């Protein structure tokens, strides 16, 4: 009987240690594509301890066709095309307990360009807060957050000409406090990654 108990304790500890030390693994081809596309080193997302898996990676452009802004809302047709066609990384991060984050990250020529990109692509209806979900601000960055629907949280990070759009959802239920903290911390880490890239 003691042997069975010892065996159970050993197996339990091994499983627990493996789960604690689990780190987000990202394919080298995806890392190379992201760095080549716009300089964002996607391998650094492994700093997000709560993330379990990266998926749905694809390169694209910021927005296709006419969205929130008309051509007259841009300084010129050339600037409109430049902003809309900015190379963008799109991917999803899967966390535990059905929490998922969908990300679009692009580097624009200027902060003003990133604001136009946001105005062209952001949902019009939700009111936006200028803080993270917790009410915290990020020094040197601009934040736009919408928690109106509750089951989907939108957070936009404007930082050093970069724009990161994130959508966190749980598949229909409200985000709990732990999930809201994970969302806020993920955005903080993306800001930290941009600092590491730009320095």
Instruction: Give the residue extent of every domain in the chain.
Output: 25-198
pLDDT category at 117 given cuts 50, 70, 90 is: very high
Decide if pLDDT at 133 tops 70.
yes
Q: What is the mean pLDDT of the segment spanning 116-133?
A: 84
Average pLDDT, the chain: 83
pLDDT in tens, 51-74: 999 888 999 999 765 677 888 989
Decide if pLDDT at 9 tops 60.
no
Decide if pLDDT at 136 tops 90.
yes
pLDDT in tens, 98-108: 899 999 999 99
- Mapping DSSP onto H, E and C, the string for the chain reads CHHHHHHHHHHHHHHHHHHHCCCCCCCHHHHHHHHHHHCCCHHHHHHCCCCCEEEEEEEEECCCCCCCCCHHHCCCHHHHHHHHCCEEEEEEEECCCCCEEEEEEEECCCHHHHHHHHHHHCCCCCCCECCCCCCCCCCCCEEEEECCCCCEEEEEEEECCEEEEEEEECCCCCCCHHHHHHHHHHHHHHHHHHHHHHC
- pTM for the whole thing? 0.83
pLDDT category at 18 given cuts 50, 70, 90 is: very low
**Rounded Cα gap, residues 193 and 199, in angstroms:** 10
Pairing of strands 100-107, 142-146: unpaired
């Amino acid at each position: 009987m003691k042997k069975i108990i010892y065996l159970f304790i050993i197996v339990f500890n091994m499983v627990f240690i493996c789960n604690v030390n689990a780190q987000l693994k990202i394919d080298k081809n995806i890392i190379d594509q992201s760095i080549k596309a716009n300089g964002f080193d996607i391998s650094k997302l492994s700093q997000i301890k709560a993330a379990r898996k990266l998926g749905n990676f694809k390169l694209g452009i910021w927005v296709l066709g006419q969205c929130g802004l008309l051509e007259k809302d841009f300084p010129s047709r050339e600037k409109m095309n430049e902003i809309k066609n900015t190379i963008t990384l799109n991917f999803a991060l899967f966390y535990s307990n059905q929490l998922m984050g969908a990300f679009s990250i692009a580097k624009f020529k200027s902060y003003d360009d990133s604001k136009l990109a946001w105005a062209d692509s952001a949902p019009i209806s939700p009111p936006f807060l200028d803080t993270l979900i917790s009410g915290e601000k990020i020094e040197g960055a601009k934040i736009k957050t919408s928690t109106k629907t509750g089951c989907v949280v939108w957070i936009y990070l404007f930082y050093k000409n970069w724009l990161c759009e994130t959508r966190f959802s749980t598949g229909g239920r409200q985000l709990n406090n732990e999930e809201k903290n994970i969302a806020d911390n993920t955005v903080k880490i993306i800001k930290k990654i941009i600092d590491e890239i730009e320095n």
